[in-house]
Amino acid sequence: MIRFWNRRLKSSILTENPELDEKIQTIRKNIKSEVKKKFAGSLAIRMVDSGSCNACEAECNALSNPYYDLERLGIYFVASPRHADIMLLSGLMTFNMAPHVLDAYRQIPNPKWVVILGDCPMMQAPFEKTFAIETTAKSEIPIAHHIPGCPPSPKEIIEGLLEFLQKI
Partner 1 sequence: MRRLIARYAKECSTHLEVITVWDDEMEKEELPHDKPHIKTISHSHPAAIWFERKMHDDFGIVVEGAFDNRPLVAHERFLAKLHPMRKSFTKTSVEYADYRPYKYETVRGDGVFEVAVGPIHAGIIEPGHFHFSQAGEDILHQEVRHFYKYRAIEKMVEGKTLAQAKPIIERISGNETIAYQIALRDIMLQAANTELPESNRKYHAMLLELERTIHHLTDLGFIPNDAGFGAALSVASRFSEDARRQMHSLTGHRFGFGAIDFSSHQIDPGAMNGYIDTLEESLDFFEKWIVDIPSLWDRFDTTGILDSKKAIQYDTVGVVARASGVEIDRREERFYKEHGFEMAIQHGCDVAARFKIRLKEAKNSAKMMRNFLTKECETVKIEEIEDGEYFAYSESSIGELFMNIEIRDGVIERFFARDPSFINWQALHLMMPDNIIADFPLINKSCDLSYAGNDL
Pick the closest to residue 69 from 19, 26, 16 (CA basis): 16
Q: Which of 24, 43, 125, 141 binds ligand SF4 (CB under 6 A)?
A: 125
Q: How far apart are CA 66 and CA 56, in angstroms?
A: 18
Cα torsion 118, 42, 65, 23: sign? positive
Identity of the residue, 118 or 160, whose beta carbon is nearer to ligand SF4 in the bound complex: 118
Pick the closest to residue 90 from 25, 36, 143, 26 (CA basis): 143
- Residue 118 binds what, of partner 1, ligand SF4, none (CB under 5 to 8 Å, by partner type)? ligand SF4
Instruction: Compute how many residues bind partner 1; rule: CB under 8 A.
Output: 52
Query: Quick check: 129 binds partner 1 (CB under 8 A)?
Result: yes
Q: How far apart are CA 62 and CA 163, in angstroms?
A: 19
Which positions lie near partner 1, rule CB under 8 A? 1, 3-4, 7, 14, 47-62, 64-67, 77, 79-81, 91-92, 94-97, 99-100, 104, 125-135, 150-151, 153
Which positions lie near ligand SF4, rule CB under 6 A? 52-53, 55-56, 90-91, 118-120, 125, 150-151
